[in-house]
Amino acid sequence: MREITIPISDEVIRSLHAGDPVQLSGVMMTGRDAVHKWMSETFIKKTRQPQGDDLQVYEEIKKILDHGVLYHCGPVVSGLDTKEYKFVAAGPTTSIREEPYQADVMRHFNLKGVIGKGGMGAKTLQGCVETPGVYFHAIGGAAAFLAQTVQKVLGVYKLEEFGVPEAMWVIEVKNFPVVVTMDAHGVSQHSTLDERSRKVLEELLTQPY
C-alpha cells in the first residue's frame, strides 16, 4: 500500500500505475455535477459571467486544487445548524457524469487526482496524460467507513447555492483508501475491462446453441 500526501508532485503521479493501491492523506475538496458545470461555464469556457462570490471562491479553491485532489462525493454532513460540520457518510459518486468537464478542469486547476467510482472515459484519460494526473477508484458501499478517514471539515463553498451534496467541502483526510485505475501513462483498467467484456460477449454470441 503506497502512502501519498496531498499536495502531490508530478514526479509522484508519474510513478503511479493502474492497479496501485494507495492511501491518501492531506487536504482535498469534494465536487460533483453542479461544481463541474460552474467551473466550466464560469472560468474555463466563460459562457457565464461570474456572479456573487464566484471570483472570491475561485481564487480560494485554486490554491486547494493546485497539485490537489477532487473527490466526486455527495456527503451526508451533521452539524449544519451549528456549523460544527462532521462527515457522517462520504461514499464516491459515479464519475462518468463528469466526463464532459473533467479533463478541462484537471488542466485548468492543475489537478493531480480525481476520486470517484466506476471510472471515466477517453477524454479524461487524455487529461490524465497531459496534466499529468490519475483517477483514483474509491470503494462503493463503504460511505460510513470512508467518512471515518475525514479528520476535519476545514470549510465549505457554495453551500446555500448548491446544497449539501453538491457543495464544495474542503476536508482533511488520513489514510483514505483508493486504487489507481487510470494513470498518467494512458492506461485505464476500465477500458481494458470493457474490451475484455466485449470479447467474451462476442464469443458467447457466436457459439452454437
Q: Which residues are catalytic?
A: 36
**Nearest 5°: phi and psi at 41?**
-70, -35
Orientation of helix 122-130 relative to helix 99-109, angle to 10°? 10
How far is Cα 45 from Cα 27, in angstroms, rounded to an integer? 27
Orientation of helix 54-65 relative to helix 99-109, angle to 10°? 80
Q: For residues 66 and 10, is the Cβ–Cβ distance under 8 A?
A: no
Q: Supply 93's cell numbers.
A: 459518486
Tell me, letter by letter, the H, E, C secondary structure of 128-162.
HHHCCCEEEECCCCCHHHHHCCEEEEEEEECHHHH
In Å, how far are 46, 130, 131 from 108, measured between CA atoms? 12, 11, 9
